[in-house]
Structure formats: structure tokens, C-alpha cells
Amino acid sequence: MLARFEPRPGCPKSASETTRAKDSFMLRQTICLPLVVLIASCLGLAGCGGGGSGAAPAASVPGVYDLDVEAMKAALQAQIDDPATPAEDKMGMQMGLGMMDGMSMTVTLDADGTAAMEMEMSFMGQTQTDSDTGTWTFEGGTITISSEDPESGDVETVSGTIEGDVMRLVMEEEADGPDEMIFKKRG
């Protein structure tokens, strides 16, 4: 008599379930993971605190900034619609556009020059969170946020501008996604 195979609890029971599970895994790996890496890399935080001059007075820079999802979606859609955007980049951008509603991110810039970031992203029934701390500077109208990777010791830095209550952090040129992250200051 042959033993009957029973899959472990939580494992796919059929070939179609296995295919769906593989497709879901591949989608998370090819779309979700790169977007999370893009967002996390844009907000790797740590540097020096301080002031300076520029579009926003240094005294008005400290505060809590939330990702402006609607502004991000509009900016990403403009990139998708731009004929100069390579076709291979547009597919990833379109997936990112669909994921924006499940994303929240907060950057806190304290008056003492310290910075903190919290991110949450929900996609395909899963939620990923990340947080980081570091420091910031604001000189000549440019905000610079930096942090040290605790494992490698590498310092990651992102820069941008603050105009009024809007902070724009410029992404790395080789990143496949939005050119900038747009935040709006609370209150």
C-alpha cells in the first residue's frame, strides 16, 4: 500500500496553487522589493545638524514631514507619460504607481539636527516597515539627510530642497522609480 502524500499546513496543495504562490513571490521580488529598496535608500539617514540660508529659513526646517502620496502619484504619472522615459522603466513605474496608496512615510527633523524616518508599505496582503535615524543639515537652500549603515559602516546620504512646507528629496539617477520623494510638513 502506498503512503498518501499530505502537504504541510500552509503549503500549496495543487500545481495551480504552486504556480500562484511562485507568481506572487516573483512579483514581490521584482516589483515590491526594488520599490522598498528605492524608498529606504532615499531615506538612509545620518550627518550633522544645523542651519543655513536658502528657500526656507533654517529655523522653519525642523518638523514632521509626511510623504505626499497624491503629489508622488502625479509626479510618477508625469514620468510615465513622458515620451523620453524608456519603455522598460515605465512598467516598474506603473506598478509603483499602484502601490503608492499602500505606502506611508514620515521624516522627522528635530531642531538639534537629529533625524528619524519611519516607513510602512502594504502590498499583496503583506506589510513591510522600516525605520532609521541620523542627522541633517540645511545650507544654501539644500537639505541633506545622512545615516550610517550599522552593518557596513557606509554613510548613506540623500539631499533635496525645502520650499515652504514642501520637502523634495532627489533620488539616485540609476534608481528605477520616481525622480524625487515629495513630503509635506505637518501643521
Total number of domains in the chain: 1
Dihedral angle sign, alpha carbons of residues 85, 88, 90, 93: negative
Q: What is the DSSP letter of 102?
A: G
> pLDDT (tens digit, 9 = 90+) per residue, 130-143?
999 999 999 988 99
pLDDT tens for 90-123 read: 888 888 888 888 899 999 999 999 999 999 988 8
**pTM higher than 0.75:** no
Q: Is 98 left (phi over 0), alpha (psi -120 to 50) or beta?
A: alpha
CATH number for 80: 2.40.128
4 within a domain of the structure (yes/no)? no
Distance CA 31, CA 104 (A): 17
Residue 138 in domain: yes
- pLDDT 10s digits, 25-64: 444 444 444 444 444 444 443 333 333 333 566 679 999 9
Query: Where in the sequence is the domain holding 77, given as residue range(s)?
Result: 33-122+129-185
pLDDT at 56: 64
